[in-house]
Structure 1
């Protein structure tokens, strides 16, 4: 019984947001999910519209951007599951952690760098942080 109480206490603490955590941002989540939806349709033109001006300048075209995502971020191109985790502020950026499961069901944690522009929230970069432990 004491082990169950300890486990429940840890679960309750894990559910609390950390000091640097921001409240959920529907605009950010919609931007990320919309880009993923475009990737699922191989609609790289639409997916490219969710990229920041810096990212657009780096890749130059939706086709080059799509090729980079297919080759370097297959879990973003074809996720089987998308789950939004914590959001935190770092300078002018908001960093949104996302758990993605790839086509084989393997989990990946990514961090999306988000910037607010006159066109709304845009994706300014994505880093693969880690694969969470089995059972996450």
Structure 2
């Protein structure tokens, strides 16, 4: 439920309930849902009020993944997640 609080309005329109959102995360992003370890990588401001955050993950299967989150600054000044892409990574776990 905490993860849902970080979702931007565009994501909440697609997944209007915590249950729908968590079902999507559980089924589509297992390494994000239950990582063995994670560390924050590069962050880049792509436009005023828009950032991209890299997260390096060791998934529940022991494999390395890279998640790239896009975040948008909201009217109250907070940043919320507008999207996430996940791919297998060749990075060495640290």
1:115 lines up with 2:72 in the alignment: yes
Q: What's 1:73 paired with? A: 29
- In the superposition, the TM-score normalised over structure 1's length comes to 0.62
Separation (CA, whole Å) in 2 of partners of 1:108 and 1:98: 8
After TM superposition, the runs of 4+ consecutive aligned structure 1 residues lying more than 4 A away are: none
The runs of 5 or more residues in structure 2 that have no matched partner are: none
1:124 lines up with 2:82 in the alignment: yes
Structure with bigger RCO (C-alpha 8 Å, 6+ apart): 2
The runs of 5 or more residues in structure 1 that have no matched partner are: 1-44
Give the superposed CA RMSD: 1.5
Largest Rg, 1 or 2 = 1
Higher helix share: 1
Higher strand share: 2
1:89 lines up with 2:45 in the alignment: yes
Q: 1:119–1:93: structure 2 CA closer, same or farther, 3 Å change rule?
A: closer
Matched positions, count: 91
Separation (CA, whole Å) in 1 of partners of 2:32 and 2:60: 10
C-alpha displacement at 1:129, in angstroms?
A: 4.0
Q: 1:80–1:112: structure 2 CA closer, same or farther, 3 Å change rule?
A: same
State the secondary structure of the residue aligned to 1:104: coil
C-alpha displacement at 1:119, in angstroms?
A: 6.0
C-alpha displacement at 1:96, in angstroms?
A: 0.4
C-alpha displacement at 1:46, in angstroms?
A: 2.2
